[in-house]
Structure 1
Amino acid sequence: MATSLKIDEMLKDRVQHLASQRRRSSHWIMLEAIRQYVEREEARERFKQEALASWVAYQETGRHLTGREVGIWLDTWGTRDERAVPECRE
């Protein structure tokens, strides 16, 4: 699928300058920028959908952890005393 982009001269010059610094083609720089943007936005959308699903589950069940409980648990990650996920409360 061929796609064309129209970019202003200033941006075009910036891309070309960066491409030359990185010893890459302008095409490669633009593809990489688009790939990173799409991956970031897809991750953001997944996070948003998980948050919405969590909110729905909380409204249905009332089960939750406090921020303090989560913080204490996370502080143990990577230590000898790493704890299991705390039990949710109602």
Structure 2
Amino acid sequence: MAIKLDDDTKGRLKRLAEARHRTSHWLMREAITQYVDREEKREAFRQDTLKAWEAYRATGQHVNAEEADAWMARLEQGDDVDPPPCHV
């Protein structure tokens, strides 16, 4: 697999690699790995959101913002509490 970079980017990558005592190849692999990891997490979150929306549309079950805020406030205080029950 090959990647074409403009001269400016190549120079920046080379300077950074030298400063980090790494190869340009290592930096590119690291950058791509971090990007793919981040995008996979973003896609998983998007899929979870779509599933939650479909579940809401099918059942109408939900928790309102006040209930969620109160639950999260308790969690922030260190209380180990269950989430509020869903309702229609």
Which has more helix, going by share of residues? 2
| SS of match in other structure, 1:76 | helix
Structure 1: 4+ residue segments shifted above 4 A: none
Alignment-derived partner of residue 38 in structure 2: 40
Paired letter, 2:53: W
**Structure 2 unaligned blocks of 5 or more:** none
TM-score in terms of structure 1 length: 0.89
What are the equivalent positions in structure 2 for 1:20-59 lying under 5 Å apart?
20-59=18-57
Alignment-derived partner of residue 17 in structure 1: 15
**Structure 1 unaligned blocks of 5 or more:** none
Identical pairs, percent: 42
Task: Sort the Cα spacing of 1:24 and 1:69 in 2 relative to 1 into closer, same or farther, 3 A.
Answer: same
Q: How many pairs were matched up?
A: 88
